[in-house]
Amino acid sequence: MVQERQRRGKGVCWMLRLWSVAVISILLLSACFVASCVLTYQFTTDNPNRRLFELHTYHSSISCFSEGTMVSEKMWGCCPNHWKPFGSSCYLISTKENFWSISEQNCVEMGAHLVVINTEAEQTFITQQLNESLSYFLGLSDPQGNGKWQWTDNTPLSQTVRFWHPNEPNSPAERCASIVFWNPAKWAWNDVLCDTKRRSICEMKKIYL
């Protein structure tokens, strides 16, 4: 009888331990799930603030402007002061001339890159900001001189979105692209030597709040 009671007692203790482990495991899994949700939410909501912080590391002041509504809340697009907003990007026209590589580095140091033109509307907007007597580097180059033009993000030049002047590009030695106004034509692209000094156009993505 005593041995039977001892066996029953051990069985009950074993069951209690098993249930305790199961309950603790469920609680730990629940806590991990909640923590994961909280971190995901914070990452999502803090992302604009993080980008604003990063932007302030390059620029002392920014300007934000209303861009309509989304889910009944105002959307604000932000660009550094003196940058021109268009679409989802901000643009800065340089006032100094430099080589292509240095121009790209100057853009990178401001959290941007040499401009990548994706549409005719974007090209039209940009040319409205330019001086017809000057030439400006684009973020477009042919590193190997084999006609494989690519943008600064390494994407190849689209077959449909390209705005070269007639008969351009025309020299394998001219491996960087600029945008220039030629009479009686218009603003369009020209291949030029990368180590010639020109002005340039920087582009960065807007920050949305």
Task: Tell me the C-alpha to C-alpha distance, in Å, between residue 159 and each of 115, 142, 156.
Answer: 18, 15, 9
Handedness of CA 153, 154, 159, 163 (dihedral sign): positive
SS3 139: strand
| Prediction pTM value | 0.71
85-208: CATH topology: Mannose-Binding Protein A; Chain A (3.10.100)
Maximum C-alpha span of the chain: 113
3-state secondary structure of 46: helix
pLDDT given for residue 63 in this prediction:
82
- pLDDT of 40 reads 36
Residue 156 CA: distances (Å) to CA of 88, 103, 159, 168: 21, 20, 9, 17
pLDDT of residue 58: 64
Per-position pLDDT tens, the chain of length 209: 544 454 555 554 556 565 555 556 555 454 444 333 333 333 334 455 666 666 656 666 788 878 776 555 657 888 999 999 999 999 999 999 999 999 999 999 999 999 999 999 999 999 999 999 999 999 999 999 999 999 998 889 998 999 999 999 999 999 999 999 998 879 999 999 999 999 999 999 998 87
Residues across the chain: 209
pLDDT at 56: 59
Whole-number pLDDT of residue 22: 53
Domains of the chain, residue spans: 1-58, 85-208
